[in-house]
A and B are shown apart, each in its own frame.
Chain A
Amino acid sequence: MTHEVFSSQHPPLAELAEQLAYDDLMNCMRCGFCLPACPTYAVTGDDFDSPRGRISLAKAVADGQLSPDDPGFAQAFDRCIGCLACQEVCPSGVQYNRIFEQARAFIEARRTHGPVRRLAFSGLFLHQGLMRTAAALMRFYQKSGLQALVRKSGVLHVMGRLGALEPLLPKLAAPQRMASGQWLLPSSDRAAHAVAQVQRIDLRNRRAIALSAPARKNRVSSTATAVEAAQDSERANACLRVGLFGGCIMDAALSVTNVNTARLLQYAGVAVINVRGQACCGALHAHNGDLQHARELAKRNIAAFEQAEVDLIVSNAGGCGAQFFEYPELLQDEPLWHARACRFLEKVVDVTELLDRLDNLEGLRPIEAVVTYQDSCHLRNVMGVTEAPRKLIQSVPGVRFVELPEAEKCCGSGGIYNVTQYDFSMQVLDRKLAFLKQTQADYLLTTNPGCQLQLAYVAKRSGLPLKVMHIVDFLAQALPEER
């Protein structure tokens, strides 16, 4: 029985119906296997907050049953965190990420946003320099005593949900940044081992990386100052060359994690370069409906990493790594860029996946502690990395690893979800907190900055004696003193 709720040729409707990936919608058989995977359904038990419910609404729009301007339609997709756990368990392979992104793009295109968000999306995230300036201002805010003053003043209460999130801001250390465009070289014996190991790399069946003697041009740099760099580059040719994707939030707020990533990779025998000219991955834009800027950022990254001539592109944030998987589709209307995006993607690897494959971290110092791990949704559901982080943690001597119940379920961070859907995000987090207490862990490790901030927030709010950090920062603590 079909209900002709919304009849016919409404222009925006036709527009969305065209945009929506109809094949993906049609694939949904309503079996409900996605329900137990969905963090928002776990909170409400209402099918409106389930993937199946959201898909049925998207289908209702595409079929002309429902107006895409309906506030309920927007609400359904606003409430989705975008963790994509549903996609991972779907028997009929519904590409929920496509439905989600297209629906969000449509919804956002019809909204007018306040100046702060507009500035952030079209300014801050597009320009690393601006992001750094913002971070510097933030440090000033924290260091100057202004933060204490603001906290006391009650201004935060007036700010409502944004105010409630203020404690979520990371405590910003003075920037510790890896110089851009310069190689960090490994010791030669470790390098040999790394090259041997990585020959066998096979990332989740999706591609096999062939690294047998890649034909590399000897790059001749035109600038005079680059002579030294060219020599380094020459030496790097003998190693596995990886380009570090720094990310925007990572680079500005958690830059020490990038430095630690490079140190670990270097220790594990690869030559690391902080690739010049890279930008934000564009995930926040894509998930919040700003596909145009997402494309622009994708192109900038593709070009930057091509220029650097690296064997692998290493990401240390699940959310960014997963966004790289979107690049080919994002650029599918531009055949040349699409091909470049595919080549780019073939090189993408998460830092934990690479370190695990390199298997070259012997000599770590012991850390006596109970450690647990929260999956990054996108690392797990899009990049398919689940075992590597757990194995790495257990490779540190002295560590007792405890599995966090429902570690695979989202923490509710979701990019800026915890800002746009504060109440919902906190309900998702409450469930997480109950399990965290069970573990009695000293450390909670994760692989994505958003998750890290969200979980640090809950630990602080609930007074749990739990150190929340990026897995890379934890591992770096175990690196032997540099000689």
Chain B
Amino acid sequence: MNNRTAVLLTFCAFVVFSMTTFAQESSTYNPHETFDPGFLNQSGTIYRSGSGCPGPAYWQNRADYKITAELNEADSTITANETISYRNNSPDALPYLWIQLDQNLSREDSRGTATEPVSGMRPSSRQFTQGFVLKSVKIEQDGRESDAKYMVTDTRMQIMLPSAMRAKGGEIKLEISYSFEILLFGAGRMGRTDTKNGTIYEIAQWYPRMAVCDDVQGWNTLPFLGQGEFYLEYGDFDFSIKVPEDHIVVASGELQNASEVLTSQERKLLDEAAKSDKTVTIRGADAVSPPDKRPQHLGTKTWHFKMTNARDVAWASSRSFIWDAARVKLPSGKRCLAMSAYPVESAGDSSWGRSTEYVKGTIEYNSKQWFEYPYPVAVNVAGFVGGMEYPGIVFCSWRSRGGGLWGVTTHEIGHNWFPMVVGSNEREYPWMDEGFNTFINIYSTRNFNNGEYKSERDSARRFVPMLMRSNIFPIFTYADNMPRNDLSNLAYYKPSIGLVMLREYVLGPDRFDYAFREYIKRWAFKHPQPGDFFRTMNEASGEDLNWFWKSWFMENWKLDQTVKDVKYVDNDPSKGVLITIANNEKMVMPVTVEVKESNGHKGRVNLPVEIWARGGEWTFKYPSTSMVEYVTLDPDHILPDVNSDNDTWTSGVVTRRPARGRGRQ
């Protein structure tokens, strides 16, 4: 081969090599994209202020429900009559209404059924029902009653009103008579569990309810597909449930007719529990009668409950229930009872025997730390449903024990804060309830019983593998659009870790807690949007965190910070060093730099995120006086840097990596 050829070949090889390596090492960071002036830049409206507060003309419609229902064990059905009193506080007349018919998910022709992924090659053994069987739908408007003109499409019903509901206070009553079959396992959120002493009925999504009409989308009519949860109006509930007379019923809200349905002994024990921090058994295993000891002909009892200012009610009924309770100490001193209902199979202190203690602990901590629990009762029910929340009542797995039972209980009870009090749209923004709840669970767990169940799982580093996936969805994805396998990471863990980083690394606990409490207070019993949360946190903490919201919540960006260069001033190690750091990927974070010198001195510099505002590189002087052994970023390994190899610069003199330390408190 001649010289010219060799040169040419070398040149070609170089071109190819540099193209490929260039592709790998070139920075994608664009400060204009990360510190995007257009993000969250829209003016507030009169309904939602620029500050993240509800605006001066903020409105919300209201739905009160009166339901009488009967549980029929023989055919596993519920038959009911409900009256919905709906009030239109919006500034628009409403010519039609939308209602949610969630039981229709269980139909064979439902959209949820059609979008259920096939699992394996075996034929399906799924059961279906008819969903809600509507016997009659009537309207009472302006004093006149008429049959409703309606159209049902999957889990949504549209009622075309004879005349539009008046804006700013128009009222209407809907009277619906219906029934439905209780599936064994209804979309993981309600169902029946057969236990040795009787079937447990965990009942939810059990009445047609109003869809939300808001100032952001008008009517919110996304179908119930199974993965995305709920978005509901607030109001008062008054409901009566007729069950076999040997059943115990626990429900959202407060029992109104204890004297009719409880024995005097049970009432006495409940009063005792209301004054006791230790769990009091109201109905023990000994009172639960096995099937062969039951009377032949059972009558019925009707249990009457009320709940004010809630967005939903659920209940559970069984003859198999053990029932215990204890008082919850709320900051205001208001009366509150923690209760548990579970079958004998789940009894015992290594299992559900401690459930009430867990409910009480969660509510007391969250009430002190964030916002006082607003309801008079909180019940934990054991059954098939692994973990599902409703205002004032939660369903957790009857097989849960120990740390697992603590974890699921504190999570489901935690949901009373998000979304039961702070009423976000779970179907569109699952992270606003799951993520925020998982976040507060971290602290309720750290603080329960001297950290009995504390875990070290709250580390952002766990997310590095997920963040590396180029096609990962961002947190800001509707619930039903998240791939099933990514749901827990995207809706639960990533947002909660984001808030941990914000609290413990970016803002500090005092500023964070103040802002977070402010958010909860502003939006309690209302319908916040993501922008309301971002704006409130920005404003109440006094920090423009848009770079953070965008990086962590809105996009699937990665963090890769690196030490690029270390140069002695005037080439003299006694004169200090100029350290150049770089931000290679699109996410930014404030930087903690640790410098170790050969004279043994170790120091840290904290640089604010603003160093990245104009470019992806930053140089600063560190006043070292001897040779530098290493310079390392994120010395406590808090951040989810996807390429930790380039976090450290060493002089080559010392090769050991710095030891892991505790995070900034």
Q: Do A and B form a real pair?
A: no
Q: Report B's interface with A, CB cutoff 8 A.
A: none
